[in-house]
Structure 1
């Protein structure tokens, strides 16, 4: 599988990744095209893909937060016919290596739905298998009905970007990312 990371949305890879993104997330659960395009214009954002013979098998959208030292994985999707083959884990491993070796980042961060449903618990187990630790703090958003929890993967053991590890500090990074993504500037 070919791993690619782009800091711009191109005319070749993005349409293939976008198709997978749109197929994987319902319209109300994904960012609109204009927001994504704006993120790449005004923020340090990345498109990560795993491709096989020109087909995008997995994709992720991410961006820097925490003063540029933390990578927030905003969305990840795996082609429906390739799920349960370990491709999502391969993508996370490649993103981790890229973040650690090329970007020298302190850590990776995600947010997961904290409502106790089989689907949410399966997603949390996926992230835990990939080295992420879940926090206790449940963050209520005003624009979505369910609360979220932060999960993190520390890459640099010499920094203390996690704070008390409760998750509250991590949501300041997550919130800052989303505020900038949706800002008009």
Structure 2
């Protein structure tokens, strides 16, 4: 598998990747396209397409900070789900760097959410027990109450708050 970082919409696979992003995430969990295009060239942001023999098999959209990597969005192509690609992509990501990894998941209140959490747990992530507020991507929407998962060890509520204080202004365009 090959990871290719896109820094603008000119890459031939950008709109195919964007379609996967829109299909995989509900409106309240995704950034509007104009905003996405603004952040793509940012040094800390990585819009990666994962390819196998030039076919798009997934997307991994993440931020690299000095102390942590934050996976904002991760999805595999619908036809390939349940076939082990997600595990391979995630393991390659966690293995490529020693920095801890954070990602957000919906609370385990539905079968789908519990299955997603178990997937990450099987891949070495810890479900942290404190709740976390994701600022809205769209004006007028409320924040989302989510849970943070971390790799390779749990984090404290204080560490989650420090991450939000330090990085949300950039990630979510919140006031500092």
* TM-score, normalisation: structure 1: 0.78
Alignment of 1:1-185 (within 5 A): 2-6=1-5, 8-9=7-8, 10-65=10-65, 68-98=66-96, 100=97, 105-141=98-134, 143=136, 144=142, 146-154=144-152, 165-174=155-164, 176-183=166-173
Note the aligned Cα RMSD (angstroms): 2.6
For 1:38 and 1:175, the matched residues in 2 are separated by 22
Please tell me whether the aligned partners of residues 46 and 62 of structure 2 are also in contact (alpha carbons under 8 angstroms): yes
Q: Contact 2:59 / 2:76 at 8 angstroms: preserved in 1?
A: yes
- Judge conservation of contact 2:3–2:48 (CA < 8 Å) in 1: yes
Structure 1's 171 and 35: CA in aligned 2 closer, same or farther, altered over 3 A? farther
| Distance (Å, rounded) in 2 between the aligned partners of 1:93 and 1:126 | 12
The alpha-carbon deviation at position 145 of structure 1 amounts to 6.1
Contact kept? 1:61, 1:76, Cα under 8 Å: yes
Q: List runs of 5+ in structure 1 lacking aligned partners.
A: 156-161
SS state of the match for residue 135, structure 1? strand
Q: C-alpha offsets along residues 17-37 of structure 1, whole Å, 9 cap, x if unaligned?
A: 212112212333311112222
Change (3 A) 1:151 1:123: same
CA–CA distance in structure 2, aligned partners of residues 167 and 109 of structure 1 = 13
Quick one: structure 1 residues 89 and 167, their matched pair in 2 at CA, closer, same or farther if it must change by over 3 Å? Answer: farther
TM-score with structure 2 setting the length? 0.81
Check 1:30–1:142 CA distance in 2 against 1; reply closer, same or farther (3 A cut). Answer: closer
Deviation string, structure 1 residues 44-97 (Cα, Å, up to 9, x no partner)? 1112332123221111100023xx221100001111111100111111012122
Structure 2 spans left out of the alignment, 5+ residues: 137-141
How many residues are treated as equivalent by the alignment? 169
Distance across 2 between alignment mates of 1:142 and 1:25: 16
Distance in 2 (CA, whole Å) between partners of 1:174 and 1:55 is 35
Alpha carbons 2:135, 2:174 under 8 Å: kept: no
